Amino acid sequence: MNLDQYAETLRLATMTTAQLRAVYGDFDVYTYELDFFALASGAEATQSLVIQQDSHFLWERAIHQTFAGTVGVGCGVLPLPNCEVEITDTASGRTLQSAPVFVSSVFGNTVSPFVLPVPRFMRANTQLSVRLINQNSAAALNVRLSFAGKKFFRA
């Protein structure tokens, strides 16, 4: 992200709904979701989140739901899931962390979503690569990662 893009993202974070509509046109709330099912103990998996071609996306909140089998963990109360995540912007090749971090460092839960300090603006067709590593020694995990924000429809 260059300085102009960073300034644009900061400006977006402080704009009112009316100002956003005036600059970017119509938008709606939207959530992109990645599902990692039956991730074995010690295993890792990578998925891609692709911003749809018809719109830009302002990522504002990050949410996870984690289940060991059919039992939810980290969905409002401890214990938190023992897995790490690494997010990479594949267009620039930049990772959003210096190393994989625990899911709870970047994603809140359904009761208390993580609000990004600076929302991340992603243009249409942007792709993020998301790598999840299950550090749990006992069980396979099902992890849902939600990227919530605003979808700006292109004219």
Please determine, for residue 2, whether its predicted confidence score (pLDDT) is greater than 50. Answer: no
CA nearest to 150, candidates 7, 34, 16: 16
Peptide bond connecting 117 to the previous residue in cis, omega within 30 degrees of 0: no
Percent of the chain with pLDDT over 90: 45
Write out the H or E segment, with its range, that includes residue 9.
helix 3-14
| Per-residue model confidence as pLDDT tens digits over 8-19 | 655 666 777 787
Q: Give residue-wise pLDDT tens across range 19-63.
A: 777 777 788 999 999 999 989 988 999 999 999 998 989 999 999
Rounded to whole angstroms, the Cα distance separating 129 from 131 reads: 7
Which domains are seen in the chain, by residue range? 3-153 (2.60.120)
Average pLDDT, the chain: 84
User: In degrees, to the nearest 5, what angle opens at C-alpha 103 toward C-alphas 55 and 8?
Assistant: 35
Q: What is the pLDDT of residues 67-94, one digit of tens each?
A: 876 555 544 444 567 899 999 999 888 8
Structure tokens at 77: 């109360």
* Number of residues in the chain: 155
